[in-house]
Chains A and B, each alone.
Chain A
Amino acid sequence: MRERLRALVPVAQRWLVPLLLVTVASVQLARVSFGGQSRWRGGGFGMYAEFHPNKNQIWLRAREHPDVPPVRLTETEGTPATRHAVARCLRLRSQACLGELAATLPGDPGPRRLEIWQPAFDARAGTLSRRRVAVLDF
């Protein structure tokens, strides 16, 4: 048994780190593709492949009062739990994350909607726009 383990040492010395790097990056790529995670985060080395998560935005709307302007939630305002949840959702643009954020918001009698928006730039037309990437009605 000890001999077998000893035989594994050179293999680990040579291949453990590359294997770990590929495993972490594969998980990150899967989370980017299926979980809305930002390419900038999580060990996938996807910096500068898309807009930085701090350019994403989270807006809270009152669904029964479309005339009332929505409120932008930021990482610097609200309770610590809300701030943390906002920071998470800017990096993990998913409905599940918005659910966690909704749970931290103070109660309100009316139905509300949380939205995550991210910027997009069309280099051909030279125009900046935003698109909604996740929505939660609660």
Chain B
Amino acid sequence: MRWTAPTPHRLAATAALLVQALIFVENFSFPWGLLLVAPTLVLPWTASAWRSPIVWGLLALVDLVPLLTRPLFVPNHLFLMTYVALALCLAGAGEGRIRLMAANARWILAGVMALAALQKLLSIDYSGFVGFMIATGGFAEPVLGRGAAAAGALADNAAQAALFLASVPVDVATQALRVPAGFAAYARGAAVGIIVVEGALAALALFRPDRALFHIVYAGFLTGLGLVRSELLFLSALAMLGLLISCARPSRWRWLYVAILLVALPAATSRLARSPSSLGQALDRAGLAQRP
């Protein structure tokens, strides 16, 4: 029996449904999160309902529940998934579905990246925040934390910061952290670099989504994001957008996003199992929870 590659249509729908299922697990309490997973993963494959606007419309409506009831507490990838589900609903079931799906994914990605860059430009705390994250091992730890001395300094800084933040706040009180000479320039360079990459991705997604350059920069960004900050569900949602975009034309780039999803989705599931998500709560009740 010969294996045949799934059509781009199926591939994109599978990725979107998997990400959607995990987002339900994360954002609905036990047992609702898990109860929503079964129809999300199973029902769309009966009678090819994965391309049905009604199915995607219903998924978008379910996404709206936590968005409207507790908007300050839900993560941004829930907003992203809602936009994707709505786009897949609006794309219809006809001939132009793939093209519309990719066009909407392109706009969503461009919007997300442009907003991410804009928010950083508008924030007075951004550069200092990046400096703090680097100094305490929150960013680029795999790179900076290699040497024993550097790892020790990062751990020391993190401990000092935690101690300071646990104390009673006083207006003029400050806590010095151990940073090397020229640290401010390094932090500023990292802060500017992040904005440049996000801005470039917004422009590429909007104007050159079919070029190899877009896929190379985007895959590099996703890999970097996975290494620097393990935001696994957000990373999966972004990889899903890349897959939706690359499915518009016959191209091998889509397998790059499939590869990223094959790593990110199991890792995200594992993390959800160890968190207070509906999956974590279910494992807790079953006595199978493994707390980190």
Contacts and interface: CB of A to CB of B under 8 A. Distances in A.
A49 B123 contact: yes
A127 B176 contact: yes
Nearest to A90: B72
B171 interface: yes
Nearest to B76: A45
B120 A49 contact: yes
A17, A38, A51, A117 — which one has the most chain B CB atoms within 10 A of its CB? Answer: A17
Interface in A85-112: 87-88, 91-92
A9 B160 CA distance: 58
Contact of B177 (A12, A115, A126): A126
Contacts of B122: 29, 32, 49
A124 B86 CA distance: 45
B224 interface: no
A123 B188 CA distance: 8
Given A45-B112, A123-B188, A126-B135, A17 B104 contact: yes
B175 A127 contact: yes
Interface stretch (B87-95, B214-222, B246-254, B266-274): B87-95
A49 to B, nearest CB: 4
Given A17-B107, A117-B169, A126-B179, A45 B115 contact: yes
B4 interface: no
Interface of B: 67, 71-74, 76, 79, 83, 86-87, 90-92, 100, 103-104, 107-108, 111-112, 115-116, 118-120, 122-123, 125-133, 135, 160-161, 164-165, 168-169, 171, 173-179, 183-184, 187-188, 194, 229, 231, 234
Interface of A: 12-14, 16-18, 20-22, 24-25, 29, 32, 37-51, 55, 57, 59, 69-70, 87-88, 91-92, 115, 117, 119-132
Given A14-B103, A29-B122, 11 more contacts: A13-B91, A13-B100, A18-B108, A46-B120, A47-B76, A48-B120, A59-B168, A123-B184, A123-B187, A127-B176, A131-B171
